[in-house]
Amino acid sequence: MTPLRAIAILTCALFMPIYTMPKMIDTVLVNCSGIGYPHSPCFLTPDVEVLDLSYNNITMIQQQNFQNLNKLRKLFLQFNHITAIEPGSFAKNSELRYLDLSNNLLQDISVLPFNHLQSLTHLDITNNMFDTADFGAEINKLQKLHSLRFGNTRLSSLNSGSLSVLQGIPLKDVYLITGDLQAFEPGTFNALQNVEKLSLDLQFGQDGKLLINIFQDIPMSTTTLEILNSDFVKKASNVDFFFPLKKLNISTLVAHNITIDDSLTTYLLNSVLGSNIKELVLDTIIMDGIGNWDVIPIPSDQINLRKLQILNVENPNFYHFYSLEYLIDIFAQLTELMILKGNLFYVPCQISEIMTYLRHLDISFNLLQEFSFIPGKCSAPFPNLNTLIANNNKFSNLPKFSTLLSKMEKLSSINASHNDLVLQKGLTCTWPQTLKCINFSHNNLEGNVFGCLPASLQSLDLSYNSITAVPNLKGLRNLREIFLTENFIASFPEIPVGYSLKVLHIDQNKITDINIRFLQSLDLAELKFSNNPLECFCAIQSVSNYVQQRRVVILDWPDRYRCESPRKFKGQIIQALKFSPIECKIPLFVGVLLACVALLVGVCIVLCIKFNITWYCRTLWLWLKAKKSLDANLVEKNFEYNAFVSYSEYDSAWVKNKLLIQLENNEPPYRICIHERDFKPGKPIINNIIDCISKSYKTIFILSKHFVQSEWCHYEFFFAHQQIFDDKKDSLILLLLEPIPKNSIPDRFCKLRKLMNRNTYLEWPQNEFQQGFFWKRLKAVLNLDFHSCSSRVTLQGVIQEPDEIPDRV
């Protein structure tokens, strides 16, 4: 395609004007639209300010209908079957400011009772059944009326008397609908001398002069002219009825849903370029032509057109357009250009370089690619452009796209959402140093895009991409807003403390855990992280606490912040969660538990020390270990000794000189086992003690003050006592050599103390006469049920490394 043909594409695209609705602040609103009223009731209270009764079955407005609504300010009655309005119907509605009676069956607007509506500012009576636009005198009572919409497709003529009663009303906005207009009297619009915006929804016959008369009659006060729903080709194909626009004071011309051809386009462009029109809006245009426009050349500095909006052009002969090189001057003075839904796929370099005044460019919903938007040969495209909107095109290569944009040295904002942008690994980007705002939502970008962004960036929108992780954003120090909605991000982005970020949206991602300390470190003004699969454990309560601080606006809170896991909380709002202290203060609970355990262990240690429990445990372990190592033959309980004698070394002289002599010199002699003589060398002491006690029928304990102080005597007493439980018999003989005060017996001899309290023991008498009786008693105890089996017991000694045997004391 030639560059000039591409210019035709620019010319034939379409812009949509943007209309803003005034903000309504209503305290009491009743909506009874489409309920079948009055057959279905609509409950009204005297404080109603806004009432919507549209799309019902109302046939007549009567006096009593609204008499109790003295605070009524807006009343919607469109699309009913109203044929008449009784006089005085609005007598009690002096506060009414907005009245819509459109699309009903009113046949005579001259009798409409407006005399009580002194506060009315907007009146719509379009598309009723009246045949003439003859207003009654009562409409002149509406001295605050600023907006009037009237007419219908039945209206075929307009004359100066039709609108004369509107003289003196401060109208600013008039919307007029006609049918197949047959007559228009010059001067009809004289009553509209203060109108600033005039909208003409006209149908007219074959006489093109009729339309010329209408345009010539437009008041000089009108600055905005709208031409709507007209097929100019069918009615006046070869008539230049646009030329009166050159003499008017119109600054904005809007053509909506019109049909034109090449000749009419020529007339339109000549009139626009030769007039005071600064803004041209072509919205939904059907063009029957090939671009054969004989436009009169005008120097660009004499053209007043500054804003051009083109939207949704339908042209079956689009690819047959002539070269439009001569239209380059039209674009030279433009400051704003909007081409939407125009199938634009090429922008000639001549066009982009000549538009030195352009600040705002919107080329959304077209077919542009990197190479066709700004050809490589262009060195300075759009040199003063600030804002570029390129949504819904075919851009795919982010590095190339950024290189093209880098040629626009003053570009500060780019919106390229709904494209196919990707960034291959290892590639870099080049951006204009002035770029502050980027919107790349609805593309195919991944996490590596953050390494391809300019440091000057202040606002970034990467929503609806394929990002799984956000790296550290330390390179984007100026970032104030970041939008990451609906990606695959699992954690909050790393933003260094002290950065100027104010707005963070990271909703609809894969975040399960909230780093509340990180959020608190940021000075955010707005945060949104709803619809994430949050894990609701104790830490999630800190999120509710964070919200309650009210330093930041949390969007969608609390309804869209719900738990995904664990299962018992799935689907619940996190603000309503309740946790037990044990669940949420595990470190404290563990600390208390450990303290209790430590206290219990301490108590046990103290008790063990006090009652020698450790000694008993250690000794019992040694006894069990030694018992396992005994020979099997010894378990048969056939005794080798009459007695094993346990004594302290301090008492050994008495044992040897008295006890052994008495017992071993007896007839028959007693077999006595003592450690000094009968312990087997090489065996551990513990094993020897247990071995000897096991082979002895009795165990004699020589009790004295030295005995209770002896460690080894304690072992022997313990093992002998254990033998009682093994054999289930009493084999202990307590021989008290000297008096022992009970308070002098150590705690570890607690069993000895109990035995002395419970059992009878032998006392060594100092009287020689009594000593004889003592020996007889001792020998009698040793003789009971003893059968020597020494000849049948074969001892197999367990030879071990000899222990170091300390002195028995």
Tell whether the model's pLDDT for residue 613 goes beyond 80. no
Alpha-carbon gap, residue 382 to 408, rounded angstroms: 6
- Whether residue 579 has pLDDT greater than 70: yes
Q: List, for residues 219-235, the tens digit of each pLDDT value.
A: 999 999 999 998 888 76
pLDDT reading at 21 higher than 60: no
| Chain centre to alpha carbon of residue 285 | 44
Tell me which residue of 316, 320, 324, 354 sits closest to 337, measured CA to CA: 354
Task: Return the pLDDT at 611.
Answer: 62
Instruction: Give residues with Cβ within 8 angstroms of 564, minimum separation 6.
Output: 512, 532, 533, 534, 535, 536, 570
How buried is residue 334: exposed, middle or buried, by Cβ count under 10 Å (0-12/13-18/19+)?
buried
Give SS3 for 372. helix
Q: Please report the pLDDT score of residue 631 as a whole number.
A: 43
> DSSP 3-state assignment of 597?
helix
Mean pLDDT of the region 777-805: 47
275 neighbors 304 (Cβ within 8 angstroms)? yes
Q: Look at strands 553-554 and 157-158 and give their pairing.
A: unpaired
State both tokens at 254. Answer: 């809007």
Residue for token pair 């002035």: 434
Angular region, 456: left φ>0, alpha ψ -120 to 50, beta rest: alpha
Please tell me the predicted confidence (pLDDT) of residue 224.
Answer: 96
Token readout for 642 is 């009459």
Euclidean distance between CA atoms 716 and 238, whole angstroms: 137
Q: Are 128 and 107 in contact (CB under 8 A)?
A: yes
pLDDT in tens, 366-419: 999 998 898 878 889 999 999 999 999 999 999 999 999 999 999 999 999 999
Torsions phi, psi for 258 (to 5 deg):
-120, 160
> Whole-angstrom Cα distance, residue 362 to residue 360?
7
Distance of CA 239 to the CA centre of its chain: 62
pLDDT at 5 over 60: no
Residues of the chain by 3-state class (helix, strand, coil), percent to 5 = 30, 20, 50
**Does residue 60 surpass a pLDDT of 90?**
yes
Query: Model confidence over 339-369: pLDDT tens digits?
Result: 998 888 888 888 899 999 999 999 999 999 9
Give yes or no for a contact between 159 and 188, defined as CB atoms under 8 angstroms apart: yes
Q: Which of 173-182, 657-666, 737-746 has the lowest mean pLDDT?
A: 737-746
Ordered DSSP codes for 137-186: GGGGG-TT--EEEEE-TT--EE-TTTSGGGTTS---EEEEEEEEE-EE-T
Residue 295 predicted with pLDDT over 90: no
Q: How far apart are the first and last CA of the chain?
A: 121
pLDDT of residue 4: 37
- Contacts of 233-237 with C-beta under 8 Å, sequence gap 24+, read 233/259, 233/260, 233/261, 233/264, 233/288, 234/259, 235/204, 235/205, 235/206, 235/208, 235/211, 236/204, 236/206, 236/207, 236/208, 236/211, 237/261, 237/263, 237/264
Of 25-29, 105-109, 248-252, 332-336, least confident by mean pLDDT is 25-29
Separation CA 91–CA 86 (nearest Å): 11
If we measure between CA atoms, which residue out of 55, 49, 57 comes closest to residue 93?
49
Tokens 């165990």 locate to: 699
* 146/193 Cα distance (integer angstroms): 13
Q: Give me the sign of the Cα torsion angle 497, 498, 499, 503.
A: positive
The answer to whether 558 touches 574, Cβ cutoff 8 Å, is: yes
57 touches 38 (CB < 8 A): yes
d(CA 569, CA 512): 14
Reading the block at residue 771, the tokens are: 């000593």
Q: Is 629 helix (H, G, I), strand (E, B) or coil?
A: coil
The crossing angle, in degrees rounded to 10, of helices 613-628 and 586-611 is 80
Tell me the sheet residues that pair with 699.
Answer: 644, 732
Residue with tokens 């040295």: 409
**Residue 637: what pLDDT?**
53
| pLDDT confidence bin for 620, thresholds 50/70/90 | low
Tell me what pLDDT residue 615 has: 55
Enumerate long-range contacts of 712-718, CB under 8 Å, 24 or more apart: 712/685, 712/808, 713/646, 713/647, 713/648, 713/808, 714/615, 714/748, 714/749, 715/619, 715/686, 715/689, 716/644, 716/646, 716/689, 717/646, 717/749, 717/751, 717/752, 718/616, 718/619, 718/620, 718/623, 718/751
Query: What tens digit of pLDDT does each residue of 695-728 get?
Result: 888 888 888 887 777 766 776 767 666 665 555 4
Poorest-pLDDT segment among 166-180, 246-260, 317-331: 317-331
Please report the beta strands in 374-446, taking only residues with DSSP state E, as ranges in sequence order.
Answer: 387-389, 413-415, 437-439
Residue 156 has pLDDT above 70, yes or no: yes
Residue type, 481: E
- Give the span between the Cα atoms of 140 and 725, in whole angstroms: 126
Amino acid making up residue 675? H
- Taken in order 288, 292, 295, 300, is the CA torsion positive or negative? positive
- Token pair listed for 175: 């919307």
- Do the Cβ atoms of 11 and 357 come closer than 8 Å? no
- Three-class SS of 645-701: EECCHHHHHHHHHHHHHHHHCCCCCCCEECHHHHCCCCCCHHHHHHHHHHHEEEEEE
**How many CB atoms lie under 10 A from the CB of residue 675?**
20
Q: Quick one: which H or E segment has residue 459?
A: strand 459-461
Q: At 804, is the pLDDT very low, low, confident or very high (cuts 50, 70, 90)?
A: very low
Q: Are 201 and 126 in contact (CB under 8 A)?
A: no
742 pLDDT higher than 80: no
Looking at residue 195, its pLDDT comes to 96
The average pLDDT across 600-625 equals 67
Q: What is the pLDDT of residue 623?
A: 52
Query: Quick one: average pLDDT of 235-243?
Result: 78
| Tokens 């039945």 belong to residue | 154
Given a contact cutoff of 8 angstroms between Cβ atoms, the answer to whether 287 and 9 are in contact is no
Q: DSSP assignment, residue 314? A: E
Q: What percent of the chain has pLDDT over 70?
A: 82
pLDDT for the residue 419:
96
> Which DSSP helix (H) or strand (E) runs through 766?
none
